[in-house]
Structure 1
Amino acid sequence: MNTAPSDARSPQLGGEVWNVPGCRIVSLGHYQPARVLTNRDLEGMVETSDEWIRSRVGIETRRIAAPDETVDAMAAHAAEKALAGSGLIAADIDLVVVASCTALDRSPNMAARVAARLGLGAPAVLDINVACSGFAHALAVADHAIRAGSATHAIVIGADKLSAFTDWTDRTTCVLVGDGAGAAVVSAAPAAGIGPVTWGSVPEQSDVVRIEATPGSASPGRFSQEGQTVYRWATTRLPEITRRVCERAGLTPEDLAAVVFHQANLRIIEPLARKLGAVNAVVAKDVVESGNTSAASIPLALSKLVERGEVEPGAPILLFGFGGGLAYAGVIIRCP
């Protein structure tokens, strides 16, 4: 197993040094359900149109999980693909972190179920619920654990089944959602391939995106949001925060080879990329074909970009999640 020595001096992404072991993403994987739900399909379900959906959110299609297709099953499919590309075996993985806001059960958690599905040895298993920014939070937790010496190889997953929490008669929300999972294998390394995380929240507006159950009801709750509030916050506040992510990694927006924002809405992603000033970057737009997949959206879009060869190995990529709870987290990685 490749473990960096505890006194290694690893170059930060922009050339500075950390007096800690490094950490990097070594491989990626993703999974989407077989069923494709198009805008034309939705026209027969609610009062909407293909033109209305495209003009407001930019989505054309989305994938919807089967009723018996669980969050942990999707997560395990993505993780299995990432593990296969890592050169590691199941016994090497000593930490599993799953980001999700749509787990139905309190216990066991999704990470434990994924570990069992993959036949892992005895990893630490953690679930993180920060909704749409969950993967960036989970990646930071794994990075911290590895650089602190508490783990050597981790699988980090974002997986959500928003369709199970969707009111399919509400045209403002049902046109947005999709299901899927994305995963990364993260390992100790002599050089830092994951930069410092910048994260935070706006607690007083934590309920503008929510899945809330009604006390006494058998329903698990329904996804709802105050879309205009989220749009204004994302397009006005987040450009400054994303620039701060670059500064902490010793880079400028012009240095970025790619930008992967949470795939919430094309009308948020495109202005945010322009205001950031990432003029040389490929901007992930997986939302067009996958919809909003919550915690899965960043690793899903990232895995597709890398699989298609759109970013050179070693190039800097900004990952930035935002949304549910009005929480956010951003980090710059080196492309595996």
Structure 2
Amino acid sequence: MTSTRIVALGHHQPERVLTNDDLAAMVDTSDAWIRQRTGIATRRIAADDESVADMATAAAGKALASAGLAPADIDLVVVATSSAIDRSPSTAAQVAARLGATAPASYDLNNACAGFTTALAAADHSVRAGAARHALVIGAEKMSDLTDWTDRSTCVLLGDGAGAAVLSAVPDGGTEGPGGLQGVGPVVWGSDPTRADAVRLTGAWQPRFAQDGQAVFRWATTTLAPIAEEACRRAGVAVADLGGIVTHQANLRIIESVVRQLGATEAVVAKDVVDSGNTSAASVPLAFSKLVERGELAPGAPVLLLGFGGGLSWAGQVVSCP
């Protein structure tokens, strides 16, 4: 068995910025109403001809270049998405072909907003078991395709984008961080199927996003902090030692509530939801990549990743910052 480490990140967002004032011209809402309830100021919207695979490839290409690896070095590609139109070939296979990877295992994974952290855990397990050495793990969503632009309770939330991580094998006994963390800590994951209807993308294509916002808010603000604490415990990292916290960017009030319950006063907290909205499976890698790009996280610092959403599902782990 080997250990794994995230060696590089990359992200991509569409050019078009949709502001709260733009939305106020479309539905009965206002900038103040949206900010008060969600913390969101803007979100990015993909062009009609910009697909999930396009955004995933752009983010993956940046991560691959940052890692200093060639496409032929990648032997596993996993794309977390709930908005890709194509059933086959998978988005992962399309990304692999566009990058020029030679013969990687490739598949898509749908666990909604917990998709990236779930995919990261699956790739981590594959690398540790010796089934891969270098993996591309991508979260990519075009949520604008699934948005009901007449529903003011949901259309204000969603945005498009992609984030990617290169996960590589490292020998056991390598450089350790706080608590002995070498790279990617053990995952804490699960679901509450009795509340599966709280977040929905159901029906024939083209489905529309719907949710019971109050139920999700209550669940997230009462359930997630203990899950985050368990992820830290399994990684051998004290909450006080966290250098960063990157949760799913669903709602600024949820993020702030979870961080407050954790008492992680020294950690840099991702709040990309303000600029990007809720990008589902893309939100964790997108926000993480931005923090690293801006130099807000120290290399090697332990960072808590926590995805949660439809299912209701969750997956979280502590990783060493690349």
TM-score range, shorter chain: over 0.9
Structure 1: any 5+ residue segments left out of the alignment? 1-19
Question: Deviations along 1:248-296, whole A, 9 cap, x unmatched?
Answer: 0111110100000000000100011110121110110000000000000
2:282 pairs with 1:292: no
Question: What's 1:223 paired with?
Answer: 209
Question: What's 2:11 paired with?
Answer: 30
Q: Secondary structure at the match of 1:300?
A: helix
**CA distance in 2 between partners of 1:106 and 1:188 (Å):** 30
**CA distance in 1 between partners of 2:76 and 2:318 (Å):** 21
Deviation, structure 1 residue 238: 1.0
**CA distance in 2 between partners of 1:68 and 1:210 (Å):** 25
Counterpart among 70, 80, 94 of residue 89 in structure 1: 70
2:20 pairs with 1:39: yes
**CA distance in 1 between partners of 2:312 and 2:264 (Å):** 23
Question: What's 1:15 paired with?
Answer: none
Question: What's 2:191 paired with?
Answer: 201
- State the TM-score, normalized to the length of structure 1: 0.92
2:123 pairs with 1:123: no
**Alignment length (residue pairs):** 313
2:265 pairs with 1:279: yes
Describe how 1:1-336 pairs up with structure 2 within 5 A.
20-190=1-171, 191=174, 192-214=182-204, 219-336=205-322
What's the % identity of the aligned pairs?
Answer: 65
Question: Deviations along 1:193-223, whole A, 9 cap, x unmatched?
Answer: 0000000000111111011115xxxx41100
Deviation, structure 1 residue 87: 1.1
Deviation, structure 1 residue 108: 0.8
Question: Deviations along 1:41-98, whole A, 9 cap, x unmatched?
Answer: 0010000000000000000000000111100110000000000010110110000000
Contact residue 135 and residue 158 of structure 1 kept, 8 A: yes
After TM superposition, the runs of 4+ consecutive aligned structure 1 residues lying more than 6 A away are none
Contact residue 31 and residue 77 of structure 1 kept, 8 A: yes
**CA distance in 1 between partners of 2:69 and 2:88 (Å):** 28
**CA distance in 1 between partners of 2:39 and 2:237 (Å):** 30
Q: Look up the equivalent residue of 1:309 and give its one-letter code.
A: G
- State the TM-score, normalized to the length of structure 2: 0.96
Q: Secondary structure at the match of 2:67?
A: coil
**CA distance in 2 between partners of 1:265 and 1:186 (Å):** 28
